A and B are shown apart, each in its own frame.
Chain A
Amino acid sequence: KQEVTQIPAALSVPEGENLVLNCSFTDSAIYNLQWFRQDPGKGLTSLLLIQSSQREQTSGRLNASLDKSSGRSTLYIAASQPGDSATYLCAVRGEYGNKLVFGAGTILRVKS
């Protein structure tokens, strides 16, 4: 059974700092990994999708990497801003089927 763990559970940083969020998964037989952002009481916004054959994806100040063999992904946020404050969730999809397995999330607070 796939299990996804996110570290740290919460993170508070000053504005402008670069930061890394970590995601690990127990079963390396994944089809893809998706990073989401969720603001309080809102839906999930897809940030980056990495296919199992890819090593990284970039979008603006965000960079996500994937090491499938070791079961790890990182989300790098450059030059953090107060507007980046949210919960960040990673989720993996198995090689077959449509099911996403989520981590518990990292609550990020960027202080101005």
Chain B
Amino acid sequence: DTEVTQTPKHLVMGMTNKKSLKCEQHMGHRAMYWYKQKAKKPPELMFVYSYEKLSINESVPSRFSPECPNSSLLNLHLHALQPEDSALYLCASSQAWSSGNREQFFGPGTRLTVL
């Protein structure tokens, strides 16, 4: 099973809302990632978790708050977003840095629209 699942598929939220994006994998991967992708651009790395600890934060604004409750789940909590945060949010997973070929597998993404 090489599947990464993401929910919801689509999300529309106002600038004062609080919402969460969810990601799950059952491949035994110990590294999980959040990416943001704007139209016609490549994905931009936001956060990396390795062994459930945050290892990379690419200077992401604090209105985005990641959480890794266990080795299979990754959440992205959203609060007070701006319209320019509208994008496709992608989750990915891989074996951790210290092992394996570290091939990244991506989920289908959540299309976020901020009004």
Contacts and interface: CB of A to CB of B under 8 A. Distances in A.
A48 to B, nearest CB: 10
B43 A102 contact: yes
Interface in A69-94: 89, 91, 93
Contact of B103 (A34, A96, A97, A103): A34
Interface residues of A, number: 24
Chain B at the A interface: SS class: strand
A68 to B, nearest CB: 16
Interface of B: 4, 6, 31, 33, 41-43, 45, 48, 50, 55-56, 88, 90, 92, 94, 96-97, 101-109, 111
Contacts of B106: 36, 43-46
A41 interface: yes
A43 B103 contact: no
13 contacts: A34-B104, A42-B108, A43-B90, A43-B107, A44-B92, A46-B103, A46-B104, A46-B105, A91-B104, A97-B97, A98-B50, A98-B97, A100-B45
Contacts of A105: 42
A98 B108 contact: no
Interface of A: 31-32, 34, 36, 41-46, 49, 51, 89, 91, 93, 96-100, 102-105
Chain A at the B interface: SS class: strand
A104 B27 CA distance: 28
Nearest to A36: B106
A98 B90 contact: no
B103 A49 contact: yes
B105 A99 contact: no
Contacts of B88: 41
